[in-house]
Structures are given as C-alpha cells and as structure tokens.
Amino acid sequence: MDLMQILQGQLSDDLLGQLSGQIGADKEQTATAANGIFATLLGGLANNVSSEGGLSALGDALDRDHDGSILDDVMGMVGGMMQGSDNAAGSALNGTGILGHILGDRQDTAAQQISQSSGLDMSQVMKLMPILAPIVMGVLGRAKNQGGLDLGNLAGVLMGSAQNAQSGGFGDLIGSVLGGVLGGDQQQQNQPSAGGGLLGNILGGIFGKR
C-alpha cells in the first residue's frame, strides 16, 4: 500500500484549482507544494510511530477522530476549512493540531523548505499545511478501517510509502523537505542520495530526540 500515491490521488484538478485560488498560486506550484507537505507529514508520522508510545497515540487518534469519512467529500471539507468552519467539525479537521502533533516546533522549517522547492512563498505554504493535514489523517484512517491496516504494520507502511515517494520522482523534494525538518547538517542535506538511505538517516536524527 503506497500512501503517497493515495494522497496524490486526492489532488484532483478541481481541488488544485480550489487550493490555488485560495492562496493565489498556479496549479503546478500548488501541486508541488502539496506533494511536499504530504511527504513531510508521512515522514514525520513514520518517525513518530517508530516508538511504541507514538504508534499507540496514532492508533488512538485514528480510532477517535479519523475514520476516513472526510475523503467522501474532500472538496466540501477543504471549502469549509477555507471559510474557517473547521472548528465546528471537531478534531478530524483540526489541521493546526494535527501539524503540531506530527511536526511540533518544526512547522516553520518545513514551510521554508517546501517554499524553496515549490516556488511559493512561505505564507502560501503555511495556508496549505493545515488544510492538507486532515487529508493525510483521513487516508490513514480509511486504510486502517477498510484496508486491513493495523498497528502492527502501520509503521512499515508509513516508512515504505515515504521511501517509494522518494524513489518515484520526488527524491529531491522529499530530501530537501525532510532533511530540513528532521535534522542533519547542511552539507548532508545538499548531497544527493540514493533510495531510502537519506530517509532512513533523517528519521533517526534530531526529530526523534524531541
């Protein structure tokens, strides 16, 4: 199961148009930024569930708030969040809270890296991040409920999906985003790396020592 591929499948042309109009960008830049956000959150989740406590916390969050039903009407969900009505929908659409749990105090660093990769300015990326975060949790929730994804293989699926994204044409983007968010010196971040090596290194880096 490739979660990154599933997430990309949520980015319909209509949704990209809606997001682009909201932040004042073209669709190509918005799509690049969205992919960077998805990759960053998958990497952060993969790191978080590497501990028993993190895996249990994610499982509890999915059972409590994220059953995947928001994917039935992504356009409506995004439209509601853009109008500021996410609070009424409860924790499932609390994008800011989701980002806090996954990235902690590294949200600004993530936005800066995604800005550099996509060509959007940082404020535009910061608008996209809380809108897209619930989609990531929705995909995880649906995978868990409908795809037989239990806690025993959740960590492996998350790591594998991030590695697949890196080797499937998003290597430079994922490397720059995850390298900046999860730690490592600048020289290492700027060096090309093959396969899952960079991902494995950064997931064991500073981010895991919060």
The predicted-structure confidence for 53-74, as pLDDT tens digits, reads as follows 888 888 888 888 888 888 998 9
pLDDT at 90: 63
Start-to-end C-alpha separation, the chain: 29
pLDDT at 192: 31
pLDDT-flagged residues of the chain (< 70) = 84-92, 165-210
How would DSSP label each residue in 31-96?
Answer: HHHHHHHHHHHHHHHHHHTTSHHHHHHHHHHHHHH--SGGGGGHHHHHHHHHTT-GGGG-GGG-HH
pLDDT at 122: 94
Q: Model-level pTM?
A: 0.81
Which letter does DSSP use for residue 105 in this model? G
Q: 56 vs 22, 53, 62, 181, CA distance in Å?
A: 35, 5, 10, 23
pLDDT at 15: 94
Q: What is the mean pLDDT of the chain?
A: 77
pLDDT at 169: 64
User: Quick check: 107 and 99 in contact, CB under 8 A?
Assistant: yes
